Amino acid sequence: DAKTTQPPSMDCAEGRAANLPCNHSTISGNEYVYWYRQIHSQGPQYIIHGLKNNETNEMASLIITEDRKSSTLILPHATLRDTAVYYCIVSGGYTGNQFYFGTGTSLTVIP
Amino acid sequence: GAVVSQHPSRVICKSGTSVKIECRSLDFQATTMFWYRQFPKQSLMLMATSNEGSKATYEQGVEKDKFLINHASLTLSTLTVTSAHPEDSSFYICSATKLGTAKETLHFGNGTRLTVT
């Protein structure tokens, strides 16, 4: 079962930063936090993942709290193409570890 | 890299027939593949975990005799929906992890839209 809680929907103005929160209070020590997004009728797209340090790549930044019970995905300059459902997932990350999806956050970027 | 391909992307079949969906890892070897199902406006639901050369592990409530999974090679897994009914109409998505890596991400296919008439 999913171990994460996310707000069902958020809006963000185009060009502004989108901050998507995720609660994972039951995360265990060897579990990673993964973020994926799904644009309508497509397979999920990997965004970023991390264990305890903050991470940044070309798509986004991931901020994980020190107690690891929550995290925030930051899209620094949202565009209309970032409109999607964003999923936060907790998993051990080893080959064979299951990824269970929660309900996700539907992000709408507004022109 | 890490491309997962699904075929077909869309399929329509008559009630009572069987449908096979293929999932291929194009540029990497995958010991483990996962099959998900997604109904409209809902999240992805994990159906089963498929390991190369062994029997698949099904999630609770998923009928293994109805959803047959075969993972015959390190680059191919198939899902067969047997005796399909209209309630099996859904979006089926596969994903794969690379062989021999830890802390690995999942790579997803673009899904198969199944409509049973």
pLDDT at residue A94, rounded to an integer: 60
Residue A21 sits at the chain B interface (C-beta within 8 Å) = no
pLDDT at B1: 64
Of A32, A98, A104, the CB nearest to B43: A104
A49/B31 touch (CB, cutoff 8 Å), yes or no: no
Q: Are B13 and B116 in contact, with CB atoms under 8 Å apart? A: yes
Within 8 A by CB and 6+ apart from A61, the residues are A48, A54, A55, A73, A74, A76
CA–CA dist A80, A84 (Å, integer): 9
Residue B37, class by beta-carbon neighbours within 10 Å (0-12 exposed, 13-18 middle, 19+ buried)? buried
- Alpha carbon distances (Å) from A29 to A26, A33, A83, B69, B101: 10, 11, 32, 32, 19
Which residue in the set B46, B51, B113 is minimally distant from A98, CB to CB? Answer: B46
**Three-state secondary-structure class, residue A45:** strand
pLDDT of residue A92: 76
Nearest-CA neighbor of A91 among A26, A13, A21, A40?
A: A26
Count of helices and strands (H, E) across chain A: 0, 9
Give pLDDT tens digits for B39-68. Answer: 999 999 999 998 888 889 999 999 999 999
Minimal Cα distance from B98: which residue of A? A95
A93:B105 CB<8 A: yes
Which parts of chain B have pLDDT scores under 50?
A: none
Q: How many helices (H) and strands (E) does chain B have?
A: 0, 11
CA distance to partner chain B, nearest, from residue A28 (Å): 14
Interatomic CA distance for residues A96 and A93, integer angstroms: 8
Q: Tokens in use for A32?
A: 């990673």
Lookup: tokens for B55: 């029997």
Between chain A and chain B, how many beta carbons pairs sit less than 8 Å apart? 71
Given this model, what pLDDT does residue B47 score? Answer: 96
Task: Check CB contact of A43 with chain B, cutoff 8 Å.
Answer: yes
Q: How far apart are the first and last CA of chain B?
A: 37
Query: What pLDDT score does A30 carry?
Result: 84
Residue recorded with tokens 């709408």: A108
Res B54: pLDDT: 84
Bridge partner list, B114: B11, B90
Q: In this structure, what token pair is assigned to residue A3? A: 């171990």
Q: Which of B104, B113, B114 to mutate to test the interface with A (most CBs of A within 10 A)?
A: B104
What per-residue confidence (pLDDT) applies to B103? 55
A82 in Cβ contact with A18 (< 8 Å): yes
Residue B80: the pLDDT is: 97
Q: Do A99 and B113 touch (CB under 8 A)?
A: no
Residues of chain A with pLDDT under 50: none
